Amino acid sequence: MTDSAPSRPGDRIDEVELRSLSTGYAAAVDGCDGTMLAALFVPDGVLMVPDYPDDLRPVIARRGHDALRRLPDGLRRYQRTFHQVSNHHYVVAGDRASGQVACVAHHVTGAGGAAGDRPAGTDSVWFIRYRDDYARTAAGWRIERRELHLQWVEEHPVAVLGAGPTDREAS
């Protein structure tokens, strides 16, 4: 939500557009769509990620559309991911904005099928707080900088794992 109650008609529109960046980011990552992911950022945009499992802080920079397009390639090691975003908070000041977005991100590995005597896979669940800076461009709001602050990680067995989505296959 924006920092205060909407005072002009555009405030609600800004909030909707900023939220769509977060949901678009989740869809791009889950679909391993690097082109879609890069398009959410300004051309020299930066995504800061942790050096997991050694460091949970955002210490690795992925800068610019070329680097961002390649980011989903590293996620193909998972059979699937599922990023659920919530708790959006934005502060808009003209053509600039900042925000925080909470996310629970599931990263599933495993052989699939029914569990039987062993789990069908493992779900590594990341609890994330994104801290973002945004810029309004001619194409609409875009992410200038996104920092992925990893709060904690849990691992859970997956009882049954169905067929994986075709959009995660290596390109």
CATH of the domain at 144: 3.10.450.50
Element (H, E) at 74: none
pLDDT, tens digit only, all 171 positions of the chain:
444 454 566 788 999 999 999 999 999 999 999 999 999 999 999 999 999 999 999 999 999 999 999 999 999 899 899 999 999 999 999 999 999 999 999 999 986 665 566 678 899 999 999 999 999 999 999 999 999 999 999 999 998 877 766 655 544
The answer as to whether 167 is a domain residue is: no
Residue 2 belongs to a domain: no
Is residue 144 situated within a structural domain?
yes
Indicate left, alpha or beta for 50 from its phi (over 0: left) and psi (-120 to 50: alpha): beta
Residue 135 structural domain: 9-162
Task: Assess if residue 168 is contained within a domain.
Answer: no
Count: domains in the chain: 1
User: What local confidence, expressed as pLDDT, does residue 115 receive?
Assistant: 54
Q: Is the pTM of this model over 0.75?
A: yes
Residue 4 lies in a domain: no
Q: Nearest-CA neighbor of 58 among 149, 153, 152?
A: 149
Q: Give the pLDDT of residue 45.
A: 98
Find how far residue 143's CA is from the centre of its chain: 12
Is 1 part of any domain? no
Whether residue 169 lies inside any domain: the answer is: no
Does residue 31 lie in a domain region?
yes
Let me know: does 44 contact 137? Beta carbons within 8 Å.
no
